[in-house]
Each structure stands twice: as structure tokens, then as C-alpha cells.
Amino acid sequence: MPVAAAEVLVEVDGKIGIVTLNRPQALNALSISVMDAVVEALGGFDRDPSIHAMVLAGLPRAFAAGADIGEMKNITGGAAAEKQLARHLSNWDKIGLLKKPVIAAVSGFALGGGCELAMACDMIIASETAVFGQPEVLIGVIPGAGGTQRLTKAVGKQLSMEMSLTGRKLSAREAFSFGLVNKVVPVESFLSEAKKLAHTIAAQPPLAVQAAKASVREAVDSKLSEGLSFERQSFFRLFDTQDQKEGMKAFSEKRKPVWTGK
């Protein structure tokens, strides 16, 4: 499905490529078409020799409030979830595999798939209003796009457990103190600060930058593929449960879910 016009904006500023999520009415919820367009745009920049670094930005109110719950709520059964969502989820991994550095410019909500998207980038500039979290448990599932793996590697087991098991969210300052983000700046300047960092990187020798990026990635990601595969199978299996149905249905109906543990 082609992305609705202007839901993903793409521009070039000197040697940097900027991709902006622009679906304000749904707090930048990451639909399949939006994620396809994001990966296509970033992949295009990755292959373009005139581009040396990239920025993936959200809007001031939301980087992204998660994967699009509307697209998932009617999926029944782990096999169906895998069939319908496996390619979608692989888009988060593709961002992690880009050769050139990607800086996430995060303001407002970075939840669920949105937090996972920011973490799939190489660095994060956050506005003072940024909120990070993996609240999937509150709608009957778990992070499915790398959250249990990348968050644990970023902030450590204790906090990652608490966030994934309770839905606890982190303020920008907390995220900074736990090493999840590089810098916290006023909301007016989150995008300009991310661009500034991207320009600084783009001024360095590109092959060395890419080699440094690949090496740092290797340090943190060596067992990631196994973890991602484990996480994904667990995520898909949750679509066999009534609580997944109830959680997503309750969200759409704007009421509190009633859990049955089935």
C-alpha cells in the first residue's frame, strides 16, 4: 500500500538526508506503509554517495506512539500475526543495518515501536518533552520490533525488565541519565541539534565513519539476531491470546482492558 501523501517527508540539507514522520492525527503511529516509506527513504540515502549522515525526525508532540494498533487489533493467531507482521517488523532491523549513521530526533512520545525505532538508530537527540517507553504489556503483547533486546543493551536488565513488565515510561532526563539518549535540548531545538550532530559527522571521512559505526554496532549487536528471533516468536504467539484481542479492542474503544490471562 503506498504511503499517504506527506506522511513521510524527505529532504536533503548539504550532506545530510532528513526523513520526517508526519502523521500527527495518529501521533505518528507506524503503519506498514509509513515504515515501508521510512526504510525506502533511508535506504535511498544510504546508497547515495553525496549523503554522509541521516536524521530520522518526529514531530514536536510525538516521535511515534508505536506501531499502528488499528492494523494489529484484528489479527488472530500467532501464525496469522507472523504472516501479516513479519515483513513490517523486519523494517526496524533494516534501519539497524544501514551503513551510514542515523540520528533520531525525538520529541514527545517515543513508545512501543516508536521507542524501538529511535533505538534502532545510532544516536538519539531528545527534546525535554520526550517520553520513552515499551508499554505493549498494557495492550496484551510485548515489544516485537527489538525493544526487549535493544532496551536491555541500552539501559541494563533491571530497568528494561521494569519498563517491559509494567509499561513504565522514562522522561527525557531519566533517559539521558540511563544512557538511552545522547543529549536533551529544549523542544524548539531538537531538530536543529540533531541536524547539527549529523553535519558534524558528515564532515568526517565517510569510510572511517562507516567503519566506526560498523565496529560499535558489532560490539553491541553480536547476539542480537538470536534475541530478535526469540522475541519475535514470542510476540507472534501473543496473538493466540484473548488478552491481546481485549487489550487492542479496549484501546480502540477508549476503555480499560479486562484481563483474563488467557
Note if 7 is an active site residue. Answer: no
Instruction: Tell me the pairing of strands 53-57 and 8-13.
Output: unpaired
Cα distances from 73 to residues 140, 183, 259, in angstroms, run: 11, 35, 15
Q: In this complex, which beta carbon is closest to ligand HXC, that of residue 190 or of residue 235?
A: 235
Residue type, 100: K
Least distance (Å) from ligand HXC to the CB of residue 55? 22
Single residue of 55, 57, 59, 65 touching ligand HXC by CB under 6 A: 65
- Contact segment (CB under 6 A) with ligand HXC among 26-34, 148-156, 186-194, 206-214 equals 26-34
Least distance (Å) from ligand HXC to the CB of residue 203? 35
Q: Which of 136, 140, 146, 231 is catalytic?
A: 136
Q: Is 144 an interacting residue with respect to ligand HXC (CB under 6 A)?
A: yes
Of 179, 212, 6, 4, nearest in space to 101 by CA: 212
Half-sphere exposure of 187 (CA within 13 A, CB side): 13
Single residue of 139, 163, 194, 201 touching ligand HXC by CB under 6 A: 139
Least distance (Å) from ligand HXC to the CB of residue 66? 3
- Residues 130, 63 contacting (CB under 8 angstroms): yes
Q: In this complex, which beta carbon is closest to ligand HXC, that of residue 89 or of residue 202?
A: 89
Least distance (Å) from ligand HXC to the CB of residue 44? 22
Least distance (Å) from ligand HXC to the CB of residue 56? 16
Single residue of 18, 38, 75, 89 touching ligand HXC by CB under 6 A: 89
Note if 26 is an active site residue. Answer: no
Note if 174 is an active site residue. Answer: no
Of 34, 106, 91, nearest in space to 68 by CA: 34
Note if 226 is an active site residue. Answer: no
Q: Is 119 an interacting residue with respect to ligand HXC (CB under 6 A)?
A: no
Residue type, 127: S
Alpha-carbon distance 14 to 35, whole Å?
25
Of 98, 90, 6, 107, nearest in space to 54 by CA: 98
Q: Is 66 an interacting residue with respect to ligand HXC (CB under 6 A)?
A: yes
Question: Count residues contacting ligand HXC (CB under 6 A)?
Answer: 21
Residue ranges in contact with ligand HXC by CB under 6 A: 26-27, 29, 65-70, 88-89, 109, 111-113, 135-136, 139, 143-145
Residues annotated as catalytic (active site), given as ranges: 67, 113, 116, 136
